Amino acid sequence: MQTTSTVRVCIWGFLLGVALVGCGETTRPDGNVGLLPVGSVAPEIIGEDAAGNPVKLSDQKGKMSVVFFYPKDGTPGCTKQACAFRDAFDKLQQAGVTVFGVSRDSVESHREFRKEHSLPFAMVADESGEAMSAYGVPSKFLIMTARVTFLIDHEGKVAQIWPEVDPAVDAERVLAAANEIAARKPS
């Protein structure tokens, strides 16, 4: 009898540990493991802009895009990160950068989050985790997305990755990197 309860406690402890820590590196649909590497073609994502219109990453060729994955609408770090992209949005647009915020929240959650914080960029409701998986972004704390940012170049390829993001400075780092890439691009 005591062995059965000990086994149950061990199983529940293991499951709780996995839920809190995450499951490590993600296996992508292409069969590789971990974050999509620099130089890879960026997988398609489709978001919704502030007017409710669809925005596709594949339609952004010739421009740069930032795809930032974040855990959850309305949490302190995610709000700080989204608002930093909002505050840098005009500069990002001037640099020719389209912004996509991606989490596993619903379209409705994104609409409320956008409205509450006046977020002007496309938001992707990745409820199934398909985009997260395609980019190799791991889960953290149950099914929430880890905080990872990708800069996509003019050709639709991953130009830079920030696997550990400080929400307060993410937008400024992306802007600096985008300006650097734009300066190197032949006219």
Angle of helix 76-87 relative to helix 107-117, nearest 10 degrees? 60
Q: How many CB atoms lie within 10 A of CB 18?
A: 13
Tell me the C-alpha distance between 96 and 98, whole Å.
Answer: 7
What angle (nearest 5°) sits at the alpha carbon of residue 55, between those of residues 50 and 56? Answer: 160
**Which residues belong to the active site?**
78
Measured CA to CA, the distance from residue 94 to residue 65 in angstroms comes to: 12
Closest CA to 171 of 74, 101, 75: 101
